[in-house]
């Protein structure tokens, strides 16, 4: 298996979401490791703006040809925007998981919840434990 890219500028969950906080908004996507496991993403069921999220509860769904995966909210808050470009090109999640493949943004989150997330080094160590 290829070695997944893990970016230092954001935090991660055990369910392989990343979150990057920029001012009032927290941008969310799935990690390179997750997109590789999923294989070709064919559809993203985007959350509606205004949807209330709870940390580590399902926020939306990502589909590949052979699987369906929940995307869990890394932080509690409200969906402020979803990446509508994914409606036309879901493959961005595979091609650029940390950039064009972002899925939604959260506002009104509680900063203290970031304590429940992993930084890049911790996440790297975490996925190393998953390999069989």
Partner 1 sequence: MPYIPHTKRDTEEMLKAIGINQIEDLFEAVPSDLLEMNEFNLPAGFSEQETRQHVSGIAAKNWTAEASFLGGGFYHHYIPEHVTNLGTRSEFFTAYTPYQPEISQGILQAIFEYQTMIVRLTGLDATNASMYDGSSATGETCLMAANITDRKKILVARSVHPQYREVMRTYCNGKGLIMEEVPFDMSSGQVDAAALGSSLTEEIAGIFVQSPNFFGVVENMKELSDMAHEKGAVSVQIITEALSLGILTPPGKNNVDIAVGEGQSFGIPVSGGGPSFGFLACVEKYIRKLPGRIVGETVDEDGKKAYVLTLQAREQHIRREKASSNICTNQTLFAIRALIYLATLGKKLRDLALLNHSHSLAFQKMLSEKGLRRVFSKPFFNEFVVDGCDTLLLQKLKEQRIAGGLPLKRFYPELKNSLLVCVTEMITKDDMEKYLREFLFIKEAPLRSA
Partner 2 sequence: MQTIFEKSVLGRSQYQLPVAIAAEIELGEGMTRSMLDLPEVSELDIVRHYTALSQRSFGVDTGFYPLGSCTMKYNPRINEAMAGLKEFAQFHPWQDDADSQGTLELIYRTQEYLTEVTGFPGLTLEPAAGAHGELTAVMMMKAYHLDRNDTQRRKMLIPDSAHGTNPATAAMCGFDTVEVPSDAQGGVDLEKLKAVLDEKTVGMMLTIPNTLGLFDRNILEISKLLHEKGALLYMDGANLNAILGAVKPAKMGVDVMHINLHKTFSTPHGGGGPGGGFVGCVSSLVPYLPAQRIVKDGDSFRLDFSAPKSIGRVRAFYSNFGVIVRAYTYMLRLGKEGTKRIGRYAVLNANYIKARLKDFYNIPFQQHCMHEVVFNDEKQTQYHITTMDIAKRLIDFGYHPPTIYFPLIVHGSLMVEPTETESKETLDEFIDAMMKIAEEAKVTPELLQRAPHSAAVKRVDSVKAARNPVVVCNTCCT
Question: Which residues of the shown chain bind partner 1 in the complex (CB under 8 A)?
Answer: 42-43, 45, 61, 63-68
Q: Which residue, 87, 39, 95, 48, is CA-closest to 67?
A: 39
> Which one of partner 2, partner 1, none interacts with residue 67, CB within 5 to 8 A by kind?
partner 1
Q: Using the Cα atoms of residue 96, residue 4, residue 12 and residue 30 in order, give the sign of their dihedral.
A: positive
Q: Measured from the CB of residue 42, what is the shortest distance to partner 2 in angstroms?
A: 4
Choose which of 40, 49, 54, 122 interacts with partner 2 (CB under 8 A). Answer: 40
Q: Using the Cα atoms of residue 100, residue 104, residue 105 and residue 109 in order, give the sign of their dihedral.
A: negative
Tokens 């429940």 correspond to 116
Q: Does 36 bind partner 2 (CB under 8 A)?
A: no
Sequence-ordered list of residues with C-beta below 8 angstroms from that of 37, at least 6 positions apart, any chain: 16
- Count of residues that bind partner 2 according to CB under 8 A: 8
Q: Measured from the CB of residue 21, what is the shortest distance to partner 1 in angstroms?
A: 30
**CA–centroid distance for 79 within its chain:** 13
Q: Does 65 bind partner 2 (CB under 8 A)?
A: yes
Beta bridge partners of 71: 60
> Which one of partner 1, partner 2, none interacts with residue 15, CB within 5 to 8 A by kind?
none
Contact footprint for partner 2 (CB under 8 A): 40, 42-43, 63, 65-66, 90-91
């Amino acid at each position: 298996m290829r070695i997944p890219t893990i970016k230092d500028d954001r935090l991660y969950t055990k369910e392989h979401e990343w979150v990057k906080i920029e001012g009032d908004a927290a941008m969310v996507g799935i990690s390179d490791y997750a997109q590789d496991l999923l294989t070709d993403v064919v559809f993203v069921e985007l959350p509606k703006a205004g949807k209330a999220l709870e940390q580590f509860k399902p926020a939306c769904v990502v589909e590949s040809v052979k699987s369906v995966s929940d995307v869990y909210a890394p932080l509690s808050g409200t969906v402020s925007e979803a990446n509508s470009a994914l409606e036309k090109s879901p493959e961005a999640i595979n091609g650029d998981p940390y950039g064009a493949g972002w899925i939604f943004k959260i506002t009104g989150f509680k900063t203290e919840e970031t304590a429940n997330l992993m930084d890049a080094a911790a996440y790297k160590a975490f996925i190393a434990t998953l390999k069989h």
